[in-house]
Structure 1
Amino acid sequence: MQQVQLIAWILAGFVLARTVKQVRSQHVDAVRKFAFAFLTPTLFFGAMSRADLEVLPSWQMVGGYLVSIMLLFFVVRLFLSQSQVQSVAESNVKSISALYPNAVGVGVPLIFSLYGNEAELMLMGIVFVNLVLILPAFNVLMIRSGEEGFYSYSKVATDPILLAIVGGALINLFGISLPAWLASSIDGIGFIALPIILVVLGASLGFYRTDDLKQQKVSMLLFVKVVGFPFAALIVAQYLFSLSAIETQVLVLLCALPTGINVYLLAERYQVARESTASVILGSTTCSLVSLIGWEMVVSRLA
């Protein structure tokens, strides 16, 4: 399963940081900067340049997803902000870590194998919504947190990842074909980007004290990701938007997916809640080996 591969890369980085004395935090930071400045933008550029922009889910399904993720985001953020040790920025990052799904790495193969091409296209439409709505809106929230040292609108607008997403979408929209050698190079760089990011994520955990995670409310965030989010999506889909059976199945499993790597990129960008975010990604990916089976059994009764 795809989750096993993701966990293996994360654990490889963790073991490397814990067992190889020559690997220091500054070495991991150097690789991280290279990955986020070059590898990750290339990965997003390639994905957006090939995305099918004409295939989108129904507005009801998009609405169900947006209502579910926004409702729980503000509920979780309110809960976290009650703690004096949680800054607004930390609350924002931790809240999105409990919600943002790994729709491409885990979701696409899972949804396609269960429900076929139609369901996969619905899922990719939500991926597009995440990139053009959820991530920009989250950046605005971070800027408006008002904490010293955070990005301004101009810095966000020139962020390499955002520029890559916009550039790839424009090339796609205008039907520009990339030269074969360039497209192949982009694919090759994108292929190695995700494993490197996951190893860096695991190595970051290796330099963090496990006992400190008890103060980061990681268990609560995992509960929201594994149980709370898909349950909220099921209620919204059934009673608020009256989605079809296939739309409800895709939406609930989408929300039950483990946390996506994009959240770790956000934590790194703003330099907050990095360790707890990495822990949620690892924990939710591990839990999904069982939880996705359970949620699939629940939604299968809708058919």
Structure 2
Amino acid sequence: MVPLVLGFLSLCLPIFAVVGLGWAAVRRGMIAPAVTDAVGIFAFHFALPAMLLRLMAAQPLAQSFEPRFFAGYLAACLVVFFVLMAGAMLLARRRRGQGAAIGAAAAMGNVGYLGPPLLLPLIGERGAGPVAMAIMSEVAIVIALGSVLMAPMGERGVLVRVLRSLMFNPVLLSIGGGAVLGALGVAIPGPLDRFLGFLGAAAGPTALFALGGTLGRLSLDRRLALAASAATFGKLVAYPLLAWLFLGPLLGLEAFWVQAGVLLAAMPTATNAFVLAQRFHTGADEVSAVVLLSTVIAAVAFPATAWLLTGPAPGP
């Protein structure tokens, strides 16, 4: 058992080590925070879309898109969101906006930045489909839902502005474009495919380094750690368990889809949740603590989850 666990740790920890490198670079003042912001913009607007477009276009749509997976994963996501939101409002006496911020922190994983480098080595390039559907669930739907619930009562135009921004989201556009090409069976021309492959290869390192740089600007004291513990538990324990329940026993999907869904649900909280809370000036400190705490714990929890799901670690 110990060698298998160590195998998954050796596979996953180098990826989290790049996050740690970005964190250390910012904390020690080696680079300015604006540099990691620029690296993150490059990853989000260029490298990650190139990688997802290429991977999605290379697979038939029927292979990369499973409606029952999308429905089950989204159901788990929304249950976590509303249960944590209700708990924060009823038990911790938070306001609606703060409750929605905590719910979003528990339901919004870092599937864009951490999903491809962690998931694809474990289950292969077919994992691009589950990653794309998880991004659609946690980015498109949770951001829209969270924005409406975090906004002050009576504020108009919030949903319209959010939907407009999602329509031009480069990651969502690349997923849609790749899905269309895959459905039509249109192959990307050789030179363009090599360009997308070369650019997309930078997605993992740059996104992870930028994530670490963002974490380097966050702080975690005892009070915030206690406040973040429930949302962190919801993100790293309840969400994966619900994904397993919905995708496996309830929907009866094959092992590939169950494994992909649970692993994606086990990703730590995305920095987008903190950006969203900061934008609406509600619960930002608590959400920043969830982002930091869940990422630290996931460095060990994710390999353990992967080992429990998939058995022996894949070879190099």
Q: Return the TM-score normalized by structure 2.
A: 0.72
Contact map agreement 1:61 1:247 (CA 8 A) in 2: no
Tell me how far apart the structure 1 counterparts of residues 175 and 187 of structure 2 sit (CA, whole Å). 16
Whether 1:8 aligns to 2:25 is no
* Cα separation, partners in 2 of 1:173 and 1:251, compared to 1, 3 Å: closer
Q: 1:34 aligned to 2:46?
A: no
**2:33 aligned residue (25, 28, 34):** 25
Are the aligned partners of 2:36 and 2:209 in contact in 1 as well (CA < 8 Å)? no
Deviation at 1:186, TM superposition (A): 0.9
Contact 1:45 1:164 in 2 (8 A): yes
- Aligned-partner Cα distance in 1 for 2:223–2:58: 39
Q: Distance in 1 between matches of 2:43 and 2:255?
A: 37
**Aligned residue identity for 1:97:** M
Once the 2 structures are TM-superposed, how far is the Cα of residue 12 of structure 1 from its aligned partner?
0.5
Call closer, same or farther: CA 1:182–1:9 in 2, change over 3 Å.
same
Contact 1:256 1:292 in 2 (8 A): no
The one of 184, 187, 198 equivalent to 1:188 is 198
How far has the Cα of 1:265 moved from its partner? 4.9
- What are the within-5 Å matches in structure 2 for residues 59-138 of structure 1? 63-81=71-89, 82-84=93-95, 87=98, 90-97=101-108, 103-111=115-123, 125-138=129-142
Residue 281 of structure 1: CA displacement?
Answer: 3.2
Answer yes or no: is the 8 Å Cα contact 2:119–2:260 preserved in 1.
no
User: Who is 1:257 aligned against?
Assistant: 266
Residues 99 and 9 (structure 1 numbering): CA distance in 2 closer, same or farther, change over 3 Å? closer
Unaligned 5+ residue runs, structure 2?
A: 1-9, 312-316
The 1:176–1:249 alpha-carbon spacing in structure 2 relative to 1, beyond 3 Å, is closer
Distance (whole Å) between structure 2 residues aligned to residue 62 and residue 158 of structure 1 = 22
In structure 2, do the counterparts of structure 1 residues 256 and 212 end up closer, same or farther at CA, with 3 Å as the change threshold?
same
| Displacement after TM superposition at 1:4 (Å) | 0.9
Counterpart of 1:223 (choices 228, 233, 245) is 233
- Cα-to-partner distance string for 1:92-119 (whole Å, 9 max, x where unaligned): 531223696955433343346xxxxxxx
User: 1:211 pairs with 221, 225, 228, which one?
Assistant: 221
Can you list the C-alpha shifts for 1:212-234, whole angstroms capped at 9, x where unaligned? 88268433233223322233344
Q: Is the 8 A contact 1:35 1:193 kept in 2?
A: yes
Q: Which amino acid in structure 1 is aligned with residue 271 of structure 2?
A: Y
Aligned-residue identity in percent? 21
Runs of at least 5 residues in structure 1 that lack an aligned partner in the other structure: 113-119, 298-303
Query: One-letter code of the match for 1:110?
Result: L
Whole-Å separation in 1 of the counterparts to 2:51 and 2:309? 30
> What are the superposed Cα offsets for residues 44-98 of structure 1, whole Å, 9 maximum, x if unpaired?
3223222331126876555543433322221122223442496366235312236
Question: 2:88 and 2:239 mapped to 1: Cα distance?
Answer: 16
1:293 aligns with 2:302: no
Which shifted more, 42-51 or 249-258? 249-258
